[in-house]
Amino acid sequence: MSTKTKILPAKDRLIGAAIELILSQGYNATTVDQICQAAELTKGSFFHYFKNKEVLGIAALETWGAYGKTIYAEAWDDDSDRPLEALYRFIEIMTELSMRPEAPCRCVVGTISQEMAQTNEGLRDACSLQLSIWTEMTAQLIKRAKAHSAPNKAFEPDELAWFLNGIWQGSMLIAKTRQNPQIIAQNLEHARRYVSCLFGSY
């Protein structure tokens, strides 16, 4: 996500710079000037590509969502005959993300959601969409696992997906505040145990 070699087109450089800055400072604290400086462009160019900061934010959310798809692809796109393992792999991927030492585990969607959902309709809708996509992809995975491995207890795939989304976002929020990513892995482990409980292997 941090390859902003000047070979990339200007628009992508702007989006990339915005994502990095938003992740490390938040949306409001990130100024258009900072983004332009990081992308090695001027404000004039910025407003050539984006009508305003909100539109850039929406583009950043979409790019972030697409980025997520590549990360989760291994689990989400799994079509093997062992979908339950893919589900556990999914949780594992998140855990791995949380333990990278180089980049703290943060989410553009969660960041912009908390800051802007109440005051900016466009950003709220874009955040809502990304959350829904994440959940839908996960729900599909859960559904496949459920169909394949008869679960121990009754549950709705959608609900479980939202539950995972919730613990994921909440954990990142807490980790950011406590400046300690360990809590994320710890919470994800409990989420995994809950999934095991539902599927009967725990």
* Binding residues vs DNA (CB under 7 A): 9-11, 30-33, 41-49, 51-54
Q: Amino acid letter at 159?
A: E
- Residue 121 Cβ, how far from DNA at the closest point, in Å? 13
- Residue 79 Cβ, how far from a copy of itself at the closest point, in Å? 27
Residue closer to DNA by CB (options 11, 148) is 11
Residue closer to DNA by CB (options 42, 180) is 42
- Residue 13 Cβ, how far from DNA at the closest point, in Å? 8
Cα–Cα separations (whole angstroms), residue 180 to 134, 139, 172, 187: 24, 29, 10, 13
Residue closer to a copy of itself by CB (options 78, 115) is 115
Cα–Cα separations (whole angstroms), residue 67 to 43, 63, 122: 26, 6, 20
The residue among 61, 38, 67, 36 whose CA lies nearest residue 49 is 36
Stretch that binds a copy of itself, among 2-10, 63-71, 126-134, 140-148 (CB under 8 A): 126-134
